[in-house]
């Protein structure tokens, strides 16, 4: 468990006894703590737009001014109707799916652990963190056509972009020339979506980032030394290159996503349940987590997906 989550645990608003007593949905404060414990250690979840609702299915308003708003003005006169600009608006549907987990801990483990009474809270924090990892996995790689029943729950960000109008680049064309690949992806993105590069991301498989960093480090420059040590974040034309361990790789190829981080949505139904149950027949206490989650993409046309990208071999 990371240092950040250990700090959050110390500030947690729920306890094992409280959960045993209530056995119901967490309070708003407890849900907030759970989400922070789940999201903080991940890569994409803390980076994207997180939205919550008391409903299992809801809509988020998305608004964009893609065209010029200002016109030549005339003192004391309003603009002509033809010069008035309507923003582009749309409603993004967040339709959550049910996920559930159960973690049994033997009585002997509980009794022998040096933390004693505090061990229950440690388990809860670790369950939250592991749940966050699995939720990020689903939100990235979800595919309703998958043979994996977990991935088949919903389409993740990659599939939503590809089926929603994203530009798609054939990464096989570029081999391991990642600079050419990144440039091609940027060129595929309409100029109006490049206005906020500090919040744009190349989300890449971890092995691609490692290979690209090594190739840049081989240049023998001070920058190369910094890249080799890992102390220097990778960028391409002011866009951060973010390694994502959970981006699935098939053989030696993977997928790269170029997107504005806030164009990706992580939706959570606020009725999260965290319950404990001790079964004396098994001599174990189980931590049971139940949640509803959903990925969404605000404007798929503002994303670019590169498929069949060489990431190893």
Q: Report domain extents, the chain.
A: 3-63+88-148+266-294, 157-264+299-310
pLDDT value of residue 249: 92
pLDDT value of residue 221: 59
Cα–Cα distances in angstroms (integers) from residue 86 to residues 59, 70, 90, 103, in the given order: 21, 12, 12, 52
pLDDT value of residue 68: 79
pLDDT value of residue 82: 85
pLDDT value of residue 17: 47
**Spans of the chain below 50 pLDDT:** 1, 3, 5-14, 16-22
pLDDT value of residue 27: 79
pLDDT value of residue 290: 93
C-alpha–C-alpha distance, residues 162 and 156, integer Å = 10
pLDDT value of residue 294: 97
Cα–Cα distances in angstroms (integers) from residue 28 to residues 116, 154, 240, 273, in the given order: 28, 26, 34, 11
> Would the CATH topology of 3-63+88-148+266-294 be identical to that of 157-264+299-310?
no
* Model pTM score: 0.84
pLDDT value of residue 110: 72
pLDDT value of residue 29: 82
CATH architecture entry for 157-264+299-310: 2-Layer Sandwich (3.30)
pLDDT value of residue 20: 41
Give CATH for domain 3-63+88-148+266-294: 3.30.2400
């Amino acid at each position: 468990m990371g240092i950040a989550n250990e700090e959050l645990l110390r500030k947690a608003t729920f306890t094992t006894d409280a959960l045993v007593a209530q056995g119901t949905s967490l309070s708003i404060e407890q849900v907030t703590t759970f989400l922070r414990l789940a999201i903080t250690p991940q890569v994409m979840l803390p980076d994207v737009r997180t939205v919550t609702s008391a409903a299992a299915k809801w809509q988020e308003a998305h608004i964009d001014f893609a065209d010029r708003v200002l016109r030549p003005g005339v003192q004391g006169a309003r603009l002509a109707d033809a010069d008035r600009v309507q923003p582009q608006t749309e409603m993004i549907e967040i339709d959550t799916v049910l996920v559930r987990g159960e973690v049994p801990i033997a009585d002997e483990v509980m009794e022998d652990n040096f933390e004693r009474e505090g061990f229950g809270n440690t388990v809860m924090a670790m369950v939250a963190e592991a749940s966050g990892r699995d939720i990020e996995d689903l939100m990235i790689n979800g595919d309703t056509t998958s043979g994996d029943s977990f991935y088949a729950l919903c389409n993740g960000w990659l599939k939503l972009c590809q089926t929603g109008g994203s530009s798609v680049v054939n990464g096989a064309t570029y081999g391991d020339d990642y600079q050419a690949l990144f440039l091609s992806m940027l060129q595929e993105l309409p100029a109006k979506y490049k206005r906020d590069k500090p919040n744009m991301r190349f989300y890449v498989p971890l092995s691609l980032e490692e290979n690209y960093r090594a190739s840049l480090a081989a240049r023998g420059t001070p920058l190369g030394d910094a890249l080799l040590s890992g102390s220097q974040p990778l960028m391409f034309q002011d866009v951060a290159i973010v390694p994502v361990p959970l981006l699935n790789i098939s053989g030696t190829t993977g997928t790269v996503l170029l997107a504005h981080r806030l164009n990706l949505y992580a939706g959570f139904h606020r009725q999260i349940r965290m319950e404990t149950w001790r079964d004396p027949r098994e001599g174990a206490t189980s931590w049971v987590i139940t949640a509803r989650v959903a990925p969404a993409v605000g404007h798929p046309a503002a994303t670019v997906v590169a498929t069949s990208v060489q990431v190893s071999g």
